[in-house]
Amino acid sequence: MKEKQPTFYEEVINEGLSRKDFLKFCTTMAAFLGLETSGVGQIVHALQTKPRLPVIWFHFQECTCCSESFIRASHPIVASIVLDKISLDYQETLMAASGFQAESAYKTVMEKYPGEYIVMVEGSIPTENEAYCCIGGRSALQILEEAAKNAKAVVAWGNCASSGCVQAAKPNPTGAKPVHKVISGKPIINVQGCPPIADVMAGVVVHLLTFDRIPQLDELGRPKAFYSRRVHDTCYRRANFDAGLFVESFDDEGAKRGYCLYKMGCKGPVTYNSCGIIKWNDGLSYPIQSGHPCIGCSEAGFWDNGPFYQHLPNTGAFGIETTADKIGLGLGVATAVGIAGHAIVTNIRKHRNISNSPTVDSETLKES
């Protein structure tokens, strides 16, 4: 570890990229972050003057799809952020070191930059039995608690770290919990998605670097710049929704015409993400554009609100495949039968009332 950390800009130029590339990157990021034009200058200034951001990146119970997404970011500079620009001192998947060296790498960061380093977490933390996830002989919870103690902020990458994802789905055998459920007293950014969009991840990093504070978050801890709008409200197929044109099955005429996937269980109307705007893989496409309904991967508990290809989630009551509509209809029929029965009984039991001889009983009058 060097004494004087090179700035982000120096790193980029040393790598042979031009200043033009650098400025293009800054402009793109400013646009993603929803900054006004003057924000571009702030980003340029920050990346030219500020030393690299010391980062410890942990992998707990997860599939590494967040890292995979990040290194496939559209802009080359975004990709290189991961590899060295943010000073990735410890990242289980990408670091060269292993064993004792690796362990000492993140301990050095904690000692050297207390209150300055950022902890980035991929994956959920088991609490049922901490032994379900151990690295270097210590449990995920121990590692995270120790690292988060002196961290400036904690970034929870993806649905696992933000809300538990598939590990926390019923019956959650490991007692998997997201970061915000086990760590308190630290700013936590939930960068939702399974995985999050690479450019969103880069945007969060650039924001931390530029403004030295966490981005504005919504009530669920997600950066507002990327998670304030529903996939549905930014979907290019929205016109078909408003026109009432829906795909009824994946091989019908509507699917060919690019109708709305609402009835195929698209979770776009209940999912907050920027898939419809930033898209994936260099803006190439996103699930709905590719003909598949949104599965709602940036929402908490999306595994338990399935199936993916059904509009209404199953209720979990009265058998697995029961929606609210089936229960409602069943209750409606039961009510109608009950009413019919009650009407018949009424005509028998109350025939005296009905046939003109009221059962007046003055003693039973209300006393109030």
Residues that bind another protein (CB under 8 A): 163, 218-220, 229-230, 233, 239-246, 248, 253-254, 257, 262-263, 267, 269-272, 296, 299-302, 305, 311-313, 315, 324-325, 327-328, 331-332, 335-336, 339, 342-343, 345-346, 349-350, 352-354, 356, 358-362, 364-368
d(CA 131, CA 151) in angstroms, rounded, equals 24
Least CB distance to another protein at residue 99 (A): 40
Least CB distance to another protein at residue 31 (A): 22
Considering the complex, state which of residue 271 and residue 274 has its C-beta at the smaller distance from another protein: 271
Least CB distance to another protein at residue 129 (A): 25
Considering the complex, state which of residue 69 and residue 240 has its C-beta at the smaller distance from another protein: 240
Considering the complex, state which of residue 81 and residue 294 has its C-beta at the smaller distance from another protein: 294
Spatial CB neighbours of 231, under 8 Å, sequence gap ≥ 6: 267, 268, 269, 271, 272, 273, 275, 276, 288, 294
Considering the complex, state which of residue 85 and residue 267 has its C-beta at the smaller distance from another protein: 267
Residue type, 311: H
Least CB distance to another protein at residue 170 (A): 14
Spatial CB neighbours of 125, under 8 Å, sequence gap ≥ 6: 60, 61, 133, 140, 141, 144, 176, 177, 178, 179, 182
Spatial CB neighbours of 107, under 8 Å, sequence gap ≥ 6: none
Spatial CB neighbours of 152, under 8 Å, sequence gap ≥ 6: 115, 116, 117, 118, 187
Considering the complex, state which of residue 131 and residue 354 has its C-beta at the smaller distance from another protein: 354
Least CB distance to another protein at residue 267 (A): 7
d(CA 231, CA 294) in angstroms, rounded, equals 8
Least CB distance to another protein at residue 150 (A): 29
In contact, 87 and 5? CB cutoff 8 Å: yes
Q: Which parts of the chain are beta strand (E)?
A: 55-59, 88-91, 118-122, 125-126, 134-135, 138-139, 153-157, 176-177, 188-191
Considering the complex, state which of residue 74 and residue 271 has its C-beta at the smaller distance from another protein: 271
Question: What phi and psi values does residue 96 have, to the nearest 5 degrees?
Answer: -80, -30
Spatial CB neighbours of 105, under 8 Å, sequence gap ≥ 6: 89, 90, 95, 97
Helix or strand or coil: residue 111? Answer: helix
The C-alpha R_g of the chain, in whole angstroms, comes to 28
Considering the complex, state which of residue 19 and residue 351 has its C-beta at the smaller distance from another protein: 351
Considering the complex, state which of residue 9 and residue 302 has its C-beta at the smaller distance from another protein: 302
Least CB distance to another protein at residue 235 (A): 12
Least CB distance to another protein at residue 171 (A): 18
61-66-72 Cα angle (round to 5)? 155
